[in-house]
Structure 1
């Protein structure tokens, strides 16, 4: 990796707030993603399972990290993104996304721990991302 200074270990991304998500947003995501699991769309089913509202699609939350990371470091490329979904974020809740650098080297890239918090302030998602310098196309 060359060019701009790499982020230091411990450096944090700015907090990024998304949502709240309404029923129309969840329906649109279901249509676009192909994930029409009724748990995310049906109030009665969510209530029967014990949720006060349908949970937001976990992949919708994970995908929201991409614009955060790309805005934070426009000189780096998001090479890998993964997460574990710890607890649901419910329709109508705002979510706060954040990241912290755990490793940073020119050879291996920048490895971040990602967190998404819903209304309870307990982690809803714990993930990781790898950012690297953009690679030039080589035929």
Structure 2
């Protein structure tokens, strides 16, 4: 797999995660230290004008990694970023997909991917775009593995 070339426009996904339940938000809050009651208390969410507590943005972004690894393994994720656009409510499903935005013709060079997370509607269609991200990735073994293979 080392030296795989990426093609601009090459797509991955969609991969669905969920439904994301209140227990997932509690576990994430405990692990991350982000115990903002907006995410954990329906009354606080309602007071903020939301129908239900929203899934943490970084929890949504964390789903990019397993979606990328499901598409291509081994893969090095060199950089990952996201902008959070719309909340996904507790009980919702998050659909991750993306495509290659920039690639080099040289084998082993990183590629830039655009990654999207949508809430999924009850009928299975994509809902609102919840997060838009970028991932800089490289196919093949990690540098440590490449060095060990050279021995």
TM-score (norm 1): 0.91
**How far did 1:119 drift?**
3.6
**How far did 1:4 drift?**
4.5
RMSD: 1.8
TM-score (norm 2): 0.84
- Which deviates more, 38-47 or 127-136? 127-136
Q: Deviating runs (4+, > 4 A) in structure 1? A: none
- Which deviates more, 83-92 or 106-115? 106-115
**How far did 1:108 drift?**
4.5
SS of equivalent to 2:144: coil
1:110 aligns with 2:111: yes
Structure 2 unaligned residues grouped into runs of 5+ = 122-126
**How far did 1:12 drift?**
0.5
1:3 & 1:119 partners in 2: Cα distance? 35
Contact 1:87–1:124 (Cα < 8 Å) also in 2:
yes
SS of equivalent to 1:15: strand
The residue correspondences of 1:1-139 to structure 2 (distance < 5 A) are: 3-105=2-104, 106=106, 108-119=109-120, 121-133=127-139, 134-136=142-144
Structure 1 unaligned residues grouped into runs of 5+ = none
